[in-house]
Amino acid sequence: MDLLNTLVDKGLRRELPTRDEALAVLATSDDDLLDVVTAAGKVRRQWFGRRVKLNYLVNLKSGLCPEDCSYCSQRLGSTAGILKYTWLKPHEAAAAATAGVAGGAKRVCLVASGRGPTDRDVDRVSRTIEAIKEENEGIEVCACLGLLSAGQADRLREAGADAYNHNLNTSEATYGGITTTHTYADRVDTVQQAQAAGLSACSGLIAGMGESDADLVDVVFALRELDPDSVPVNFLIPFEGTPLAEEWNLTPQRALRILAMVRFVCPDVEVRLAGGREVHLRSLQPLALHLVNSIFLGDYLTSEGQAGQADLDMIADAGFEVEGAGTVTLPQHRADVAHAGGGCGSHEAGGGCGSQNEDAGCGSHADGGGCGPCGGAAQGAPEPVAEPAGAPDQEPVPAGAARTGLVAVRRRGAGTDLPPNA
């Protein structure tokens, strides 16, 4: 296919495809899917070999966000039955982070629901970063705290943060239909503040919210222009109790085409497969490893992922390897630019975090994370862990039907008395 040959050549040269070429990737047929994956896989291997970076989310403060992001389980007015709790203490967050590191993660993503942090919140997160780094030498820390005010990015970097995540989520043209309590421009400004402070910028998108192919291309081209080191790709998890609960627009094949398009547009950037992969890719998750070079290990912010050991087994079975702590994630030409710009020590590794938790957003939007300073009543005793997807008593689901049974609210790890999934 001439299109794919052209895209591979451009990706190996770090040349931007045309918008029509990016749209054409999304329009390819299921018959051509393996050809698309093979082509994008050549670009992925050129810049990242067969390494897979593992990232681990710690939800520092969950629920009761004042923002109205339609996809988010923590949004204002959400009736999703998620965990709700106030700030974890530094030692609690450090213990959660250590569990992820023990599972193979080289980056810990600290997420808090809310519009943005107060200066007191920044102090609190700074102490948490210090506690994590004291216990885990060499670990990268990414913060996801919502919209930043002047000087806060500098303070986070001084405290030891390596990266900051804030997702664009969708195109500028459609952003107002998803969120009304802040603007697309607010998000761009926060990413630029992080970059100006020398933090590795992480910014991505959420697919499956009813957007068009043109919207997907628009937001990915905007990300290319913004030039973050890491681009998390989240697939909407339609939580009951949120405005987008009925949006089941993705198939595994479409999810793979979206990931391929992102790889072609952002060939040498850390592309992270973030929230929603278990729900929408399902048994095709291993194919996605040929397109992305980074995933989240275990659970997300407010939803449960597959078992951490299953993630490791999937990587090994697909012929990939977990990226070691001493390995630089980004290609040398990007790592050099990062350091020249005063970037963090592991900015080389660039990897951001993306979370559907979205504003909290580290690439695990799967949880539909929220944005906005929220209080959060302390959570009581954890409810029983939900029956895992695919349990023997489940009825077969017809092709193309919504897989609502795969949405499992997190009931373990941070904010509960149960051990984390890592």
* Residue 108, φ and ψ in degrees, nearest 5: -110, 130
Do the beta carbons of residue 233 and residue 270 sit within 8 Å? no
Q: Compute the distance between CA of residue 56 and CA of residue 136 in angstroms, rounded to an integer.
A: 13
The residues that bridge with 378 in the sheet, in sequence order, are none
The residues that bridge with 363 in the sheet, in sequence order, are 354
Three-class DSSP labels, the chain: CHHHHHHHHHHHCCCCCCHHHHHHHHCCCHHHHHHHHHHHHHHHHHHHCCEEEEEEEEEEEECCCCCCCCCCCCCCCCCCCCCCECCCCHHHHHHHHHHHHHCCCCEEEEEECCCCCCHHHHHHHHHHHHHHHHHCCCCEEEEECCCCCCCHHHHHHHCCCCEEECCCECCHHHHCCCCCCCCHHHHHHHHHHHHHCCCEEECCEEECCCCCHHHHHHHHHHHHHHCCCEEEEEECCCCCCCCCCCCCCCCHHHHHHHHHHHHHHCCCCEEEECCCHHHHCHHHHHHHCCCCCEEECCCCCCECCCCHHHHHHHHHHCCCEECCCCCCCCCHHHHHHHHHCCCCCCHHHCCCCECCCCCCCEECHHHCCCCCCCCCCCCCCCCCCCCCCCCCCCCCCCCCCCCHHHCCECCCCCCCCCCCCC
Q: Compute the distance between CA of residue 88 and CA of residue 340 in angstroms, rounded to an integer.
A: 35
The dihedral through the CA atoms of 9, 12, 17, 21 has a sign that is positive
Q: Compute the distance between CA of residue 289 and CA of residue 292 in angstroms, rounded to an integer.
A: 5
As annotated, the active-site residues are: 65, 69, 72, 109, 142, 202, 272
Do the beta carbons of residue 392 and residue 71 sit within 8 Å? no
